[in-house]
Amino acid sequence: MRLKDQVALVTGGSRGIGRAIVKAMAAEGAKVAFVFRGSQAAAESLVQEVQSNGGVIKACQCDVTKADDVQQVVDGIEKEWGQVNILVNNAGVIHDDLFVRLDPENWSKVIQTNLGGTYNFCRAVAYSMMKQRKGRIINVSSVAAEHVNPGQTNYAASKGAINSFTRALAVELASRGVTVNAIAPGFIETDMSEAVRNKAGDLIKKMIPMRRLGQPDDIAKVAVFLASDAAGYMTGQVLTVDGGLSLGAAAV
Ligand SMILES: NC(=O)c1ccc[n+]([C@@H]2O[C@H](COP(=O)([O-])OP(=O)(O)OC[C@H]3O[C@@H](n4cnc5c(N)ncnc54)[C@H](OP(=O)(O)O)[C@@H]3O)[C@@H](O)[C@H]2O)c1
């Protein structure tokens, strides 16, 4: 068990990539708390699934954009289980629209959730990780930060900022034994990518050299690696996990 006795906190754990990360970290022996916004039924089913496999898990309803609520969640976990050793900032949203039609509300929602939520949780755990001289922060970015798509100025800006934030925070925390890395997934089969998948159909697979969409588990395995001892000397890195999509090969 690679994460035995660690305390992990995963945002956006109720569905998709976050849900797979919660299950993978619990299976590796971590106590896992996860944050969700509104999917109560999905959160409850995840708790039951992990517990029935002998895992230790806790669901926390919290909007990642609300700094005071985030602090309360972290305080609650630390009171019950001790200090958070692993933080995965995974909660994210898309609200795609061409820039000239993009309203301020959908600009803010994406920036506040993806980037603001990451800031809020890092702020709530960084000091105690530094004091403990131990910690892993894993931010979920996207290939869309570097390989941009029309209609995603808000999303690309949020994920590009997460990459820069990851590197800058890594430099500040490195001497205190805390690593900060990011994962940039390609097309992963989740609710978030459903609309694009429906629209693009088989073209997506043709753009991916490995000829398949990613599964949430493909990302979860890399998150476990980054949280494990094996990644102890890595910090400030953005790992692309996309089946080769970002290599930019022509669709065949
Ligand atoms: N899917 C892809 O192809 C892909 C590609 C690249 C990067 N990513 C990134 O991977 C991460 C996960 O994406 P996904 O595809 O798994 O998305 P998803 O299936 O839509 O799940 C999103 C998760 O984030 C939570 N969430 C959203 N806003 C929140 C808020 N304000 N407060 C708390 N929780 C919130 C949701 O909670 P509720 O269930 O309660 O709504 C849900 O658990 C995101 O950061 C996304 O940008 C995804």
Query: Which residue stretches of 53-100 are H helix?
Result: 67-81
CB 166 near ligand 1, within 6 Å = no
In order of start, what are the domains of the chain with their CATH numbers?
7-188+216-240 (3.40.50.720)
CB 36 near ligand 1, within 6 Å = yes
Cβ atoms of 143 and 98 within 8 Å: the answer is: no
Calculate how far, in angstroms, residue 132's C-alpha sits from the geometric centre of ligand 1. Answer: 29
Asked about 155 being catalytic, the answer comes back as yes
> Per-residue pLDDT for 251 more than 80?
no
pLDDT band of residue 249 (cuts 50, 70, 90) is confident
Q: What is this structure's pTM?
A: 0.98
Mean confidence (pLDDT) of the chain: 97
Give the C-alpha separation, 152 to 129, whole Å: 34
pLDDT for 120: 98
Give 57's contacts (C-beta < 8 A, 6+ positions apart): 22, 26, 31, 32, 33, 34, 46, 47, 50, 51
Give the C-alpha separation, 196 to 190, whole Å: 11
Tokens of 68: 């005071």
Ligand 1 atom nearest to CA at 192: 20
> Per-residue pLDDT for 202 more than 90?
no
> Per-residue pLDDT for 134 more than 90?
yes
Residue in 9, 19, 37 to alter for ligand 1 test, most ligand atoms within 8 A of Cβ: 37
pLDDT for 106: 98
pLDDT band of residue 116 (cuts 50, 70, 90) is very high
pLDDT for 200: 87
Q: Is 66 exposed, middle or buried (0-12, 13-18, 19+ CB in 10 A)?
A: middle
Which tens digits make up the pLDDT trace of 35-91?
999 999 999 999 999 999 999 999 999 999 999 999 999 999 999 999 999 999 999
Q: Where are any strands of DSSP class E within the chain? A: 7-11, 31-36, 56-61, 86-89, 135-140, 178-185, 238-241
